[in-house]
Amino acid sequence: MRKSELTPKIYVVIMMIFTGAMMRLIPHWPNFTPIAAIALFGGTFIKRKDLAFLIPVVAMLLSDLIIGFHSTMFPVYLSFIAIVAIGLALQRRLTVVNTLSASLAASVLFYLVTNLASWTSGLMPYPMNASGLMQSYIAGLPFLFNGILGDLFYTSALFGSAYLVTNRQTVYVK
């Protein structure tokens, strides 16, 4: 890579990937990581859509190299790709309410897809019928709650930081 290709935007992309991967490796509440927020942010603000879709996938791959691969990786990664698509839709109507709604939608999407994948893979001790699926969703509610908290926290941090940086208004503190 030539020096002229190492723009500040590339550094931001590299930092997002590294941060996302590292936050999965340090001790944290289950599902309280920035990957969904990074995916949502990338879809909303990164002009090169190939990078927007690659960032959460590469962050997951890097951390999964250390944590370990699992049988539900494909649906997990697909969830983050879908969250990037939510970010693409968000960029046309970027408001605080829409951003928080998109973050909640991302949390719910991840929960529904990954719990379904875990249940269908046989990883969960529930029968393979509608009742078993409902049992798996009920058992996963604490993970949904943690995911919502994490996604709202990291989405607020990322989108709030972008707002502060791009609006560069002087704030006077008395």
Domain count, the chain: 1
Residue with tokens 């002087």: 170
Show the tokens assigned to 46.
Answer: 């990164």
Of the pLDDT bands very low, low, confident and very high (cuts 50, 70, 90), residue 122 is confident
Model pLDDT, residue 39: 96
Counting beta carbons within 10 angstroms of the beta carbon of residue 106, is it exposed (0 to 12), middle (13 to 18) or buried (19 or more)?
Answer: buried
Residue 174 placed within a domain: no
Mean pLDDT of the region 106-115: 97
Taking only the tens place, the pLDDT of each residue in 49-91 is 999 999 999 999 999 999 999 889 999 999 999 999 999 999 9
Residue 77 placed within a domain: yes
CB 20 within 8 A of CB 38: yes
Residue 111 placed within a domain: yes
Distances (CA, A) of 142 to 9, 22, 31, 127, 138: 36, 23, 9, 21, 9
**172 pLDDT above the threshold of 60:** no
Determine the length of the chain.
174
Residue 153 placed within a domain: yes
Q: Which domain holds residue 109?
A: 3-167
Residue 172 placed within a domain: no
Residue 110 placed within a domain: yes
CB 160 within 8 A of CB 41: no
**Amino acid at the residue 6:** L
Residue 22 placed within a domain: yes
CB 90 within 8 A of CB 99: yes
